[in-house]
Structure 1
Amino acid sequence: MRRSHGEVAPAVWRALETYRRAIPPEALGWYGSPDGDTLPLDDKGWEHIRQKILDRPSANACNVDLEEGASEAGGYNFEYRGRRLDAPLFAHDEDATSGVAFSFPTEYLLEHGPAHLRALALELARELPFSFGYASLAFVSPRGFWYAARHELIAPLSRYLGLDLYRLDETSRVIGTHARGAYWLTFLGQPLLGQLGGIEALRDKLSFPEVSHQPMEAERLLLTLGEWPDVIDTQKAPLVPHYRALAHLLEPFLYEERTGWFSLDKGNLRRWMRRLCQ
């Protein structure tokens, strides 16, 4: 979201409440305190989070991390990086954004089915003034804690091209109004959707039976690439054409990472970000 924290804070809070209603009670059990500790997310903790998001609209930054477990990876997690884009730290960075991520364990998808998760993602997205967003199968580790195991993740990433690996804190600071790639659910807002030619142009260019096009208010679009998310196992089947077609359309609008969070070689990250364009 190429918007400052104060502009998006109410929408982020509403989306968080929607997420909280959709997941099991107490699924989010911990939050990061201002002093760096991880504390139980009780009623007092929720009030602290509410105040942090809503009561400081002029804050230079608002970072919120809510996790299922105090030390485990995966599961249910909420991450928000709100930034005041005119603050000295970001004022000269044209690509800084406010970003938010909601994660679910694979069991949630299997129990409720893809239609339910798609409807929930759409409900969350309606609240948010996004330029780009997505839902994907992914390696999920709160706050990028997977970084210590990044070398072990390279092999499965090279085989399963439909798996995502993200680090919200750094990506949200550099993505601007660009795209991140082609995903099972790909949300396109402005100005990106206009740069791609608009809704009707994408209907013509992505006229695959597996792809559904759902217009959203405020000139936005949700693309769904198949009934279920596809792990894209390159050892079992060739790259699915509708994913590749969307990846090629988005390639001119992909952002460039400015940090070496994937490895010291940024070329590795650039190739991985464009893995569906090959």
Structure 2
Amino acid sequence: MRYPKLRYYDKRGWLSAVDALLMSFYMPHPNERIAPAVIRAVELFRERIKPYRLLWNDTHDGQGEPLDDASWERTRRKTLDAGAGGSGSLMLYDNPSGMNEILVDYRGLSPVPLPWPERKDDVCVLYLRLPTEYLEERGPEHVRTLALELAAELPFSSGYVDFVLCASRAGSVDALELIRPRYPGVHLAASSAIMNVNTRVEGIHWMNFLGQPVLGQLGGVSGLRERLMLPGVSIQEMSGDRVLITLGGRPEPGDVEAGQSLPLHRALARILEPYLYQRKPLFGHPVPEALLRWDRRFLE
């Protein structure tokens, strides 16, 4: 299957939104507890995506350096040794200028939750982005296997894998017009990791990873199966009271011109409605109504 090529250029002619394959995992645990698992997942990701490569390492001082063995070892040690009160964050990417096609963005925190009320919902996040061509070339089964391998390493409360449109916050409303009229299956994602998800669920997707507390509030795996017994829905138990819900055999853009109505997405949205994440204001600026409506499109 070929996916729509989605590009949005801002008024300056800069690319500020692009289609992608995105994997995100949210972990409400301090960095010192989960850093070894995150490092294993990142190393696994780098190995599995070859010949695609991450080429640059963000040194967190406004600079980047070529990602070689020595650079990775410094970052790996810094993440593992951050300790109590340290963030342990890392960022690896393929392009030193402009929108990255391949991006690993880990935002670590210690402690979790943070002591400031305005950041009480922040959790650790691992955000992994690949070009859509990766999905087209390798196929959905390969992507599903990779995602499960990564998820098995991570103590997530929620996570997802999907075909998305990644947009900068400044350009997200304008970029929405690339998908709003035609592709309801396309999630409008941020261009980097967002942290204020807490233990909620960031939307309805092709692959939906659920852990605690949401899975328990749904009655566990058995309760979920009773409420989601539909052809095309796969519910796979994972260790640690976690589950993967897969909607269909591949990500579906939901092309309205082809008559795709995405009934499985709508069914899961009704079940998860009380637990869905809602975008938060940034620096006092309210979230545009168009974005809030898009996030609830499967409930309308």
Tell me the TM-score normalised to structure 1 length: 0.89
Are 1:165 and 2:188 an aligned pair? Answer: yes
| Separation in structure 1 between the aligned mates of residue 262 and residue 113 of structure 2, nearest angstrom | 43
Partners of 1:64 and 1:94 in 2: how far apart?
21
* Counterpart in the other structure of 2:251: 229
User: How do 1:233-272 and structure 2 match up within 5 A?
Assistant: 233-260=255-282, 264-272=286-294
The corresponding residue for 1:52 is 78
- Contact 1:139–1:165 (CA under 8 A) maintained in structure 2: yes
Change (3 A) 1:90 1:170: farther
Residue 154 (structure 1) aligns with:
176
Q: Distance in 1 between matches of 2:220 and 2:114?
A: 34
Say yes or no: does 1:16 pair with 2:42: yes
More strand by share: 2
- Kept in 1: contact 2:84–2:111 (CA 8 A): no
Measure, in 2, the Cα distance between the counterparts of 1:215 and 1:198. Answer: 10
Q: Using the TM superposition, give the Cα deviation of residue 169 of structure 1 relative to its aligned residue in structure 2, in angstroms.
A: 6.1
**Paired position in structure 2 for 1:208:** 230
Q: 2:55 aligns with which of 5, 29, 48?
A: 29
Q: 1:253 to 1:164 in 2, by over 3 A?
A: same
Percent identical? 38
**Alignment deviations for residues 37-73 of structure 1 (CA, whole Å, 9 cap, x no partner):** 1221122211121112111122432321111111242
Q: SS of the residue aligned with 1:212?
A: strand
- In 2, are the aligned partners of 1:60 and 1:87 still within 8 Å (CA)? no
Name the SS for the 1:156 alignment partner. coil
| Structure 1 unmatched ranges of 5 or more | none
Find the aligned partners of 1:39 and 1:94 in 2 and give their Cα distance. Answer: 33
Aligned length: 272
Structure 1 residue 93 displacement after superposition: 4.5
Which secondary structure state, in structure 2, belongs to the residue aligned with residue 239 of structure 1?
coil
Superposed CA RMSD in Å reads: 2.2
Alpha-carbon deviation of 1:171? 3.0
SS of 2:277's partner is: coil
Q: Higher helix share goes to which structure? A: 1
Is the Cα contact below 8 Å between 1:84 and 1:90 reproduced in 2?
no
Residues 1:196 and 2:218 are matched in the alignment: yes
- Deviation by residue 1:141-197 (Cα, 9 ceiling, x = unmatched): xxx6x334324312123131222232376731x211111111000000011101122
Say whether the 8 Å CA contact 2:28–2:124 is kept in structure 1.
yes
1:113 match: 139
Per the TM alignment, residue 4 of structure 1 is displaced from its structure 2 partner at its CA by 0.8
**5+ residue gaps, structure 2:** 1-26
Residue of structure 2 in register with 1:179 after alignment: 201
Change (3 A) 1:247 1:74: farther
Show the 5 A alignment for 1:96-135. Answer: 96-135=122-161
Contact 2:225 2:235 in 1 (8 A): yes
Q: Which residue identity lines up with residue 66 of structure 1 in the other structure? A: L
Give 1:106 shift: 1.4
Given residue 7 of structure 1, which amino acid in structure 2 is its aligned partner? R
Residue of structure 2 in register with 1:138 after alignment: 164
Residue 14 of structure 2: aligned partner? none
Q: CA deviation at 1:79?
A: 0.6
Alignment CA distance shift 1:151-1:14 (3 Å): same
Q: Per the alignment, in what secondary structure is the counterpart of residue 137 of structure 1? A: strand
**Quick one: which amino acid aligns to residue 37 of structure 1?**
Q
